[in-house]
Amino acid sequence: MSELTIPVSETDHIQGSPQAPVTLLEYGDYQCPYCGQAYPIIKDIQASLGGKLRFVFRNFPLTKAHPSAELAAEAAEAAAMSGKFWEMHDTLYMNQNALSEESLVEYARRLGLDVPKFVEDLAKRRFKSRVRNDFIGGVRSGVSGTPGFFINGERHDRSWDYDTLLRALSRLSG
């Protein structure tokens, strides 16, 4: 079983209380169809476990298979600078088949971001290193595909269907 090599920190994108007994961390790719299938499952699990769960998302774009994933991850990071990471994250997963640069700019506009700054951030690839650092951390933790899940720092290699994942998390949530 693989362990998470880079612990969760304040630089991560986190939903939920730091005191939650269970942390579910996902290494994800915005263009990956399996991550797209996992997205509503994670939302349902968050609703089920409430304050017992802390969810963390890290970027793991598989650029050879998903050519739009890296720029989409950079768009989410650009949105994070305006406090809108999770809004962009949700938008990207709900629109997985529309991740062109033009689409990303439209999502930024809809979210009320500073569009000229957003466009400049993407053009200058300001968040490429952030995305790359997430990716490298995933590789060091044994992630080779997406979604890659860790529960309290331990790799979850079993199925991530709702029932299986909820059971694994519930055992630790008290």
Tens of pLDDT along 95-104? Answer: 999 999 999 9
| Calpha distance 18→10 (Å, rounded) | 10
Is 8 domain-assigned? no
What is the domain-level CATH number for residue 145?
3.40.30.10
Task: Note down the domain range covering 141.
Answer: 13-173
Q: Which letter does DSSP use for residue 145 in this model?
A: S
Whether the Cβ atoms of residue 138 and residue 7 lie closer than 8 Å to each other: no
Is 30 domain-assigned? yes
- In the Cβ-directed half-sphere of 1, how many Cα atoms lie within 13 Å? 11
Is 143 domain-assigned? yes
For the residues 58-87, what does the mean pLDDT come to?
Answer: 97
Is 82 domain-assigned? yes
pLDDT at 173 over 80: no
Is 128 domain-assigned? yes
For the residues 120-144, what does the mean pLDDT come to?
Answer: 97
Is 81 domain-assigned? yes
Whether the Cβ atoms of residue 19 and residue 61 lie closer than 8 Å to each other: no
Confidence of residue 174 (pLDDT cuts 50, 70, 90): low
Total Cβ atoms within 10 A of residue 168: 20
What per-residue confidence (pLDDT) applies to 1?
54
Whether the Cβ atoms of residue 126 and residue 136 lie closer than 8 Å to each other: no
Question: Which of 161, 148, 28, 23 lies closest to 89 in space, CA to CA?
Answer: 28
Is 6 domain-assigned? no
What per-residue confidence (pLDDT) applies to 31?
98
What's at 98, amino acid-wise?
A
Domain count across the chain: 1
pLDDT at 93 over 70: yes
Please give the model's pTM, rounded to 2 decimal places: 0.96
Is 1 domain-assigned? no
